[in-house]
Structure 1
Amino acid sequence: MTAPVCAADGDLIPAVRTGLLIGGQVVDGRGEPIPVTNPATGEVFTTVAAADEQDVDDAVRCAQETFQSGVWRDLPIHDRARLINRFADGIEGRMKDLYRLETANNGRPITETKAQITRLAEWYRYNAALLLADRSSVIPMRGDYHTYTSRFPLGVVAILSSFNHPMMIASKSLAPALATGNTVVLKPSEQTPLTALLLGEIAQDAGIPDGVLNVVPGLGPSAGAALVEHPLVKKAVFTGGTEPGRAIAVATARRFAKATLELGGKSPVLIFDDTPVDVAARGAAFGGFIGAGQTCIAGSRLLIQRSFYNDVVEALSKVASAIRIGDPALETTQLGPVISRRAQERILGCIRTGLDEGARLAAGGHAAQVPGLPGGFFIEPTVLADVTNSMRVAREEIFGPVVVAIPFEDEDEAVALANDSDFGLGSAIWTRDVARAHRVASRLETGMVWVNDHHRLDPSSPWGGVRDSGVGREGGWESFNDFTHVRAVTVRTAPDDVDWYGGIATDRLN
């Protein structure tokens, strides 16, 4: 166990187990322990065990043995659903610990963290409900046959979650993976391992059998690579950068394993001039700056109709400049730090690149100084105006509190600019014209489209992208079914026996 430590606001962060969770046992990892940093202070406040390749092999083999034992896979679906709902109850019972840990670990303002992870239990309850609601399909095969489908779990599933939304990203796949009878090895980001470790503890307390959920913090190049390349892993789920996702796609394809990859984004936000300026500015700020812009679906590429472009940029710059930057543990804070010093330096470098390319700095652009937190990794909310879609800052994911503003003339140009991207994760449309909203949404080549909003998700709605934003979907039946294989069962119902070679063949083979 760790000892409780103080957050930046002086309150206590709850103690968590810091060892690997394999087969229900907390074990020391063979890797070098991982320091955990509070990005608001820049200080290390605890360490956790790190898995190496052998630890990962132990975890996967344990998960495989548990799967083969049938203790979870063969549990009657009503009993499995009941345990998943009990798991959801346990998450709700530890909610304060979870959101305080997550805020201390990734620096997201506690008001945002609460708003997000208070919904976590919904994902588990929804997938437990899908388990109970699932039905087989009857296929009208020609002849005297009754043909139907059924589904069966894949086996061991690897889930690699990212630092920006550790609990939500893990749960979006953990919930359907468990509901469909798989066993799981969860590798959280090495930067934010704490809530995943607590999640494993909650699962044990809920009665999830040992070995069903295993948690192995570790470094990506060692533990992460060993996990996705393991021959017993039947599906890998990854949220993160496009290039690591590409490598995972190759690794899983070699053995024909499944992969769901939610990767980078450069989400276009199309703002039409029938939208009130203040509404457009507030909406653009919400889309671009929530989570310090560290979300794959951040509305970081603003396409603004030229007729009111300058007004929106000016209003947005005022909103950005008024955002309260500070200690993420305080309820009054609206923008916290980015995840690390390295990230801070990279983001500031991207801003300089944009200015060198000819962008105009309309707001922000610098590291932010927060009283009492001189070591924190803070960046001012930044608006880069007069950008063209060919600039690097318009094409590459910055993953920080930086938005770029690009003017357009009409609907056709807006759609063309929006689709001119290597990414295709999310997009948003701001308009008061309902016909235009549907018309434009149908032309956008992204996995998700919001109208007059951003960032909204639900366990019933599929989440994912196209092109360099990845493959597969999280949420809904699409995700639930992708944690299973489908089998077709054909039963001959004819009264006579099969005797193909006994006389003149009259049956049809197909």
Structure 2
Amino acid sequence: MSTTTLSPEPARTAAAGRPVLDPATGAVLETVPDSSIAEVDAAIARALTAFTAGPWPALTRTQRGRLLLRVADVIEARSEELYRLETRNNGRPVTETRAQLSRVPEWFRYNAGLLAAQRDSVLPSDGPYLTYQRRAPLGVCGIITPFNHPLLILARSLSAALATGNTVVVKPSETTPLSTLALVDLLAEAGVPDGVVTVVTGGREVGERLTGHPDIAKITLTGGTEAGRAAAVATARRFARVTAELGGKTPIAVFDDIDPVVAAEGAAFAAFVAAGQSCVAGSRFLVQEGIYAEFVAALARRADAIRIGDPSDPATQLGPLVSAAQRDKVRALVEAGRVEGARIAAGGGVPDLPAPLNQGFFLQPTVIADATMDMRVAREEIFGPVAVVVPFRDEADAIAKANDNRFGLGAGVWTRDLARGHRVADAVRAGMVWVNDHHRLEPSLPWGGIKESGTGRDAGTESFDDFTWIKTVVVRTAADDVDWYGADAPGRLN
């Protein structure tokens, strides 16, 4: 099904740069400049000046906390503009975008709270000494964000970086920079000093320069595994920090003690929200043999009933993929599954939509059944609205198949046996595991994976702390002086 209320807005263009497309129609929304290497260097120099001079380093923790709360209030007040802008730029249905971006202020408020509650540690020392630790900001940090959740992923890291006193240079995805550029204006409106947050736009070369620059103290990157590996190598050369949230091939084990129709409804949300363009999307469903056929049929029915159409229409349930290239990649993997012997139980093609949506990058929600663990669709990240279903025998088989992958970002378990849910969650090698739910996140929950899904954590106290370095201070409190080489010195040999 489709919706047809699209009202294209006139494109805004610049003299030169990179066109930013509306993925629902293929039309140009705006042309954004490609930052040159010199412009990236200038942005970093500006951020370094803001870190070392001017008002930012002079702010107290209380003042920074209040500023973050003002940022949250401004974002909340302008949220409708941000929902609409991000929906037009990345194609996610506005109902989903509204639900996600309405939570962005929470990250700024959470990190403001961590800042207010932060205490310096006093460490035990023998003798007349007081030993304590102080946390200090790292300096200039680079944040590289992906196309799928531009503002949420940025807020996750940016709020922690600012709370701890760092300055930031942001590089958004070249396909979805518009909401990030809008956010920088809102930060200025909230009172964030000039140079504290700067955006550079462009493609791979801009990201490489930001990652490799000697004045960048930390990189936080969300993207593909190869991009994360390159960032790890570049930062290692100067011993800078890196947090990388990379790819995933999320296994979701569905056991036969649960109603397969209920599980299929949960599976549809896990697989098709954001058109499957999420690193933790439910892309690999491991279903116990006793309910396998019924689960596949229920999931296929649900997929066929999803309303595809204009992302700005609240009735739309599935929008387009972000680009033609992304859709081509997903279609090629679906076809590879078909060639390898899997069954396309639902979808698999391009929906028939009216103009101008017929020029967009839409793909039907797709269910691939009867897959085996050696097929590409069961092993590779697809990053589209595609659910791959693989049968399993028992709990041990489910765990073995869940862990049989190079990724380790997210996982899920559907069962009415809570003891089993805990056992499987413990046994699965993934940074995040949901039981009888999916995609649940909070500012306090550390977000990240293991294996080729990355290193480090976003959100939580882990992210807050990792934007600082620890200084240990040892103070001698005894009244007498120390003369190590004197007659009564403790080090004198008798």
TM-score interval, smaller chain:
over 0.9
Deviation at 1:369, TM superposition (A): 2.0
2:207 is aligned to: 224
Give the partner amino acid of 2:139: G
Alpha-carbon contact 1:38-1:104 (below 8 Å) kept: yes
Does 1:264 find its partner at 2:261? no
2:313 is aligned to: 330
1:491 is aligned to: 475
Q: Matched residue of 2:135: which SS?
A: strand
Alpha-carbon contact 1:367-1:380 (below 8 Å) kept: yes
Aligned pair partner of 2:152 in 147, 163, 168: 168
Cα distance in 2, alignment partners of residues 97 and 46 from structure 1: 16
- Runs of 4+ in structure 1 off by over 6 angstroms are none
Cα distance in 2, alignment partners of residues 345 and 207 from structure 1: 43
2:350 is aligned to: 367
Aligned pair partner of 2:259 in 269, 276, 285: 276
Aligned pair partner of 1:424 in 400, 408, 411: 408
1:310-325 correspondence to structure 2 within 5 Å = 310-325=293-308
Deviation at 1:310, TM superposition (A): 0.8
Alpha-carbon contact 2:36-2:206 (below 8 Å) kept: yes
Bigger mean CA offset, 419-428 vs 490-499:
490-499
1:460-499 correspondence to structure 2 within 5 Å = 460-499=444-483
Q: Matched residue of 1:374: which SS?
A: helix
2:326 is aligned to: 343
Deviation at 1:278, TM superposition (A): 1.2
Cα distance in 1, alignment partners of residues 325 and 432 from structure 2: 30
Deviation at 1:141, TM superposition (A): 1.5
Does 1:122 find its partner at 2:119? no
Deviation at 1:504, TM superposition (A): 5.5
Cα distance in 1, alignment partners of residues 79 and 276 from structure 2: 24
Q: Matched residue of 2:249: which SS?
A: coil
Alpha-carbon contact 2:248-2:280 (below 8 Å) kept: yes
Deviation at 1:374, TM superposition (A): 1.1
Give the partner amino acid of 2:487: G
CA-atom RMSD in angstroms: 1.7
Cα distance in 2, alignment partners of residues 115 and 11 from structure 1: 23
Aligned pair partner of 1:137 in 112, 121, 134: 121
Does 1:401 find its partner at 2:398? no
Taking structure 1 as reference, are residues 34 and 465 closer, same or farther at Cα in structure 2, changes over 3 Å only?
A: same
Does 1:178 find its partner at 2:137? no
Which ranges in structure 1 are unaligned for 5 or more consecutive residues? Answer: 1-6, 20-27
1:35-114 correspondence to structure 2 within 5 Å = 35-69=19-53, 71-114=55-98
Deviation at 1:494, TM superposition (A): 2.0
1:24 is aligned to: none
Cα distance in 2, alignment partners of residues 418 and 117 from structure 1: 31
Cα distance in 2, alignment partners of residues 493 and 139 from structure 1: 14
Cα distance in 1, alignment partners of residues 168 and 18 from structure 2: 22
Give the partner amino acid of 1:115: A
Deviation at 1:12, TM superposition (A): 5.5
Give the partner amino acid of 1:9: L
Cα distance in 1, alignment partners of residues 230 and 46 from structure 2: 25
Alpha-carbon contact 1:348-1:367 (below 8 Å) kept: no
The alignment-based identity, stated in percent, is 55
Deviation at 1:71, TM superposition (A): 2.1
Deviation at 1:49, TM superposition (A): 2.0
**1:181-220 Cα shifts (integer Å, max 9, x gaps):** 0000011111011111110100111110000010111112
Cα distance in 2, alignment partners of residues 150 and 456 from structure 1: 34
Q: Matched residue of 1:362: which SS?
A: strand
Cα distance in 2, alignment partners of residues 505 and 436 from structure 1: 64
1:247 is aligned to: 230
Bigger mean CA offset, 135-144 vs 476-485:
135-144
Cα distance in 1, alignment partners of residues 351 and 198 from structure 2: 39
Q: Matched residue of 2:208: which SS?
A: helix
Cα distance in 2, alignment partners of residues 313 and 497 from structure 1: 79
Deviation at 1:70, TM superposition (A): 5.3
**1:91-149 Cα shifts (integer Å, max 9, x gaps):** 11111110100000000000000000011000001101111100011111222211111
Cα distance in 2, alignment partners of residues 36 and 454 from structure 1: 31
Alpha-carbon contact 1:106-1:339 (below 8 Å) kept: yes
Q: Matched residue of 1:146: which SS?
A: strand
Cα distance in 2, alignment partners of residues 507 and 269 from structure 1: 64
Bigger mean CA offset, 142-151 vs 225-234:
142-151
Deviation at 1:376, TM superposition (A): 0.9
Deviation at 1:74, TM superposition (A): 3.1
Which ranges in structure 2 are unaligned for 5 or more consecutive residues? Answer: none
**1:2-22 Cα shifts (integer Å, max 9, x gaps):** xxxxx9722759x99x99xxx
Aligned pair partner of 2:216 in 218, 233, 254: 233
Alpha-carbon contact 1:74-1:181 (below 8 Å) kept: no
Q: Give TM-score scaled by structure 2 length.
A: 0.96
Alpha-carbon contact 2:377-2:388 (below 8 Å) kept: yes
Aligned pair partner of 2:270 in 271, 283, 287: 287
**1:365-395 Cα shifts (integer Å, max 9, x gaps):** 1112222311011101111111111211111
Cα distance in 1, alignment partners of residues 53 and 487 from structure 2: 47
Cα distance in 1, alignment partners of residues 20 and 312 from structure 2: 17
Alpha-carbon contact 1:185-1:216 (below 8 Å) kept: yes
Alpha-carbon contact 1:73-1:153 (below 8 Å) kept: no
Cα distance in 2, alignment partners of residues 199 and 507 from structure 1: 61
Deviation at 1:338, TM superposition (A): 0.1
Cα distance in 2, alignment partners of residues 381 and 450 from structure 1: 23
Deviation at 1:495, TM superposition (A): 2.3
